[in-house]
């Protein structure tokens, strides 16, 4: 009667391979950017055959999702934490910007990877595991934006949620557009801030209504 461990030799070997693959992808993507790395290189670095690699991930994009999800989740955490500190003192726009700031930094830390990540998030199959994980984080973030909007502007929950969705769209397009690729982080933040200011009433600087 051999013990029936859920952690048999096989399971351990698989877990190990999965680790090696994510580690290899993380390192290579960080060094060369997602489209400067071939799946073969990742497989070599992880010391598995390409066939094996594709038993663990369905597609190269999924690898990008896996790697970026971690960074993204962390950025969302930091945004929510720092925003809650600023919530009572700052203006609505500034609190929202505090929330966005780490996410902007995360995406632009390695622009090539960040843009692919955002694109895959909206364009890819939401049913796929890692995509779903990323969408969950995005949703967590959007909800945080919604609650800030609601608290700081007194908007109805419904309207606040929609405003948060608009903020997501603004951030997505601004960070994805090739036109803004050369811009500095400071400029990007200003472009986003200007748009958020128009969206949120009571903001200083760019009210939509003239009077």
Partner DNA sequence: ACTCAATACTGAGCACACTCAGCAAGTTTG
Partner DNA sequence: CAAACTTGCTGAGTGTGCTCAGTATTGAGT
Least separation, in Å, of the C-beta of 19 and a copy of itself?
29
Q: Which of DNA, a copy of itself, none lies near 11, with the C-beta cut-off 5 to 8 A by kind?
A: DNA
Residue 178 lies near DNA (rule: CB under 7 A):
no
Residue 191: phi and psi, rounded to 5, are -60, -45
Residue 182 lies near DNA (rule: CB under 7 A):
no
Structure-token pair, residue 45: 């670095």
Count of residues near a copy of itself by CB under 8 A = 43
Residue 51 lies near DNA (rule: CB under 7 A):
yes
Residue 14 lies near a copy of itself (rule: CB under 8 A):
no
12, burial (CB in 10 Å: exposed 0-12, middle 13-18, buried 19+): exposed
d(CA 162, CA 165): 5
Q: Where are the alpha helices (DSSP H) in the chain?
A: 9-32, 39-46, 50-56, 60-86, 92-109, 111-123, 129-153, 157-176, 185-199
Closest CA to 117 of 67, 65, 66, 168: 65
d(CA 129, CA 141): 19
Least separation, in Å, of the C-beta of 13 and DNA?
6
- Among positions 33-92, residues that touch a copy of itself (CB under 8 A) are none
DSSP code, position 127: T
- Considering only 26, 27, 33, 59, the residue that binds DNA (CB under 7 A) is 59
Q: Which of DNA, a copy of itself, none lies near 17, with the C-beta cut-off 5 to 8 A by kind?
A: DNA
Between 178 and 197, how does the x/- string for binding to a copy of itself read (CB under 8 A)?
Answer: xx--------------xx-x
- Considering only 22, 24, 29, 60, the residue that binds DNA (CB under 7 A) is 60
Q: Which of a copy of itself, DNA, none lies near 40, with the C-beta cut-off 5 to 8 A by kind?
A: DNA
- Considering only 8, 15, 126, 136, the residue that binds a copy of itself (CB under 8 A) is 126
């Amino acid at each position: 009667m051999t013990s029936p461990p859920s952690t048999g030799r096989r399971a351990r070997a698989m877990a190990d391979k999965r680790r090696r693959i994510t580690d290899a992808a993380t390192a290579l993507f960080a060094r060369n950017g997602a489209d400067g790395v071939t799946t073969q290189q990742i497989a070599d670095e992880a010391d598995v055959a390409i066939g094996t690699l594709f038993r663990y991930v369905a597609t190269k994009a999924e690898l990008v999702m896996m790697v970026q999800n971690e960074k993204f989740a962390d950025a969302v955490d930091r945004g929510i934490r720092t925003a809650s500190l600023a919530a009572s003192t700052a203006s609505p726009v500034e609190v929202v910007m505090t929330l966005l700031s780490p996410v902007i930094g995360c995406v632009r830390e390695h622009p090539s990877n960040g843009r692919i990540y955002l694109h895959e998030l909206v364009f890819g199959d939401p049913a796929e595991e890692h995509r779903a994980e990323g969408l969950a984080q995005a949703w967590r973030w959007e909800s945080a934006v919604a609650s800030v909007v609601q608290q700081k502007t007194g908007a109805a929950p419904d309207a606040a949620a929609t405003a948060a969705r608009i903020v997501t769209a603004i951030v997505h397009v601004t960070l994805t557009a090739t036109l803004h690729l050369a811009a500095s982080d400071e400029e990007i933040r200003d472009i986003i801030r200007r748009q958020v200011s128009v969206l949120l009433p009571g903001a200083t600087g760019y009210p939509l209504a003239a009077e």
